[in-house]
């Protein structure tokens, strides 16, 4: 096999370059796969890492399999490839940024309520939204393997409520509301996904009594009452 690197077609691809490329591409597949499965890094950092590995993987394919840039000069293939990648970056990144902005600013009513609460917008079109300007009291509910402590919470508007997940798995809380919005939402939130060992805080901006339950274990439930 070693003699192959001296053949006339060496510049187009040898056994050696294909084997190296194949091994590297396997490595760059397994590393992000196990990072995702084991959650070694979390959130945006993990996303950035796996995207980085995808780009590395692409470079391996381009260099070792497509042999880009190794042909005779001028390297029009390479120029065309780079300009295409440039257009792709503009199109994809631009679309994501623009649509995300649009989605955030021009959203359905439920989303608008969440936006109003998150941003503390006091009034919209001359009407008071009831969104809170400052946090008064933080209430806490801890959920440990089906046990909700305390099961009942009483609070005032503009307090906050933090759910802590001490269970051994991820919790997905859903709400039951009976007020003017007979959906499974609270203040624009449809559900709350809390990883084990973590906590999530909601703003208590709507008055009334609301129940919540775990989506996968509906007996894990509790309620909170918000007085004006």
Partner 1 sequence: MSPQELSHHQAAADDRTLFGFWIYLMTDLLMFAVLFAVYAVLHNNTFGGETGRELFKLPLALAETLILLTSSFTCGIGMIAARRGNKNQVLIWFGITFILGLAFLGLELAEFSSLISEGHTLHSNAFMSSFFVLLGTHGLHISAGLLWMGTTLGYIMKRGLNNSMVRKLTMLSLFWHFLDIVWIFIFTIVYLRAFV
**174 contacts 215 by C-beta, under 8 angstroms:** yes
The least CB distance from residue 46 to partner 1, in Å, is 5
Least separation, in Å, of the C-beta of 116 and partner 1? 20
Q: How many residues bind partner 1 (CB under 8 A)?
A: 47
CB of 55 to partner 1, least distance (A): 9
Of residues 135, 165, 170, 137, the one with CA closest to residue 149: 165
Closer CB to partner 1, residue 39 or residue 152? 39
Stretch of 6-14, 122-130, 137-145, 218-226 lying at the interface with partner 1 (CB under 8 A)? 6-14
Q: 10-69: which residues touch partner 1 (CB under 8 A)?
A: 12-15, 18, 21-22, 25-26, 29, 32-33, 36-37, 43, 46-47, 50-51, 53-54, 57-58, 61-62, 65-66
Between 190 and 227, whose beta carbon lies closer to partner 1? 190
User: Helix/strand/coil (H, E, C) string of the chain?
Assistant: CHHHHHCHHHHHCCHHHHHHHHHHHHHHHHHHHHHHHHCCCCHHHHHHHHHHHHHHHHHHHHHHHCCCCCCCCCCHHHHHHHHHHHHHHHHHHHHHHHHHHHHHHCCCHHHHHHHHHHHCCCEECCEECCCCCCCCCEEEEEEECCEEECCEEEEECCEEEEEEECCCCCEEEEEECCCCCCCCCECCECEEEECCCCEEEEEECCCEEEEEEECCCCCCEEEEEEEC
The reply on whether position 151 binds partner 1 by CB under 8 A is no
| Per-residue contact flags (x/-) with partner 1 for residues 84 to 113, judged by CB under 8 A | x--xx--xx--xx--xx-------------
Our CB check for partner 1 shows the closer of 33 and 152 to be 33
Q: Which residues bind partner 1 (CB under 8 A)?
A: 4, 7-9, 12-15, 18, 21-22, 25-26, 29, 32-33, 36-37, 43, 46-47, 50-51, 53-54, 57-58, 61-62, 65-66, 71-72, 76-77, 80-81, 84, 87-88, 91-92, 95-96, 99-100, 190
């Amino acid at each position: 096999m070693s003699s192959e690197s001296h053949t006339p077609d060496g510049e187009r691809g040898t056994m050696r370059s294909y084997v190296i490329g194949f091994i590297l591409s396997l490595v760059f597949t397994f590393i992000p796969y196990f990072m995702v499965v084991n959650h070694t890094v979390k959130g945006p950092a993990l996303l950035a890492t796996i995207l980085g590995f995808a780009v590395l993987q692409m470079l391996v394919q381009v260099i070792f399999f497509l042999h880009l840039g190794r042909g005779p000069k001028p390297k029009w293939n390479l120029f065309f490839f780079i300009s295409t990648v440039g257009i792709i970056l503009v199109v994809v990144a631009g679309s994501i940024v623009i649509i995300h902005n649009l989605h955030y600013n021009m959203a359905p009513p439920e989303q608008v309520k969440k936006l109003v609460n998150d941003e503390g917008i006091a009034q919209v079109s001359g009407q008071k939204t009831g969104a809170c300007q400052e946090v008064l009291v933080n209430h806490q509910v801890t959920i440990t393997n089906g046990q909700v402590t305390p099961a009942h919470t009483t609070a005032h508007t503009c307090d906050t409520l933090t759910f802590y997940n001490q269970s051994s798995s991820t919790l997905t809380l859903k709400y039951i509301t009976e007020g003017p919005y007979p959906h499974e939402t609270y203040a624009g939130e449809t559900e709350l996904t809390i990883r084990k060992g973590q906590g999530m805080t909601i703003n208590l901006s709507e008055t009334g009594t609301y129940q919540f339950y775990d989506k996968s274990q509906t007996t894990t439930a509790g309620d909170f009452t918000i007085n004006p």
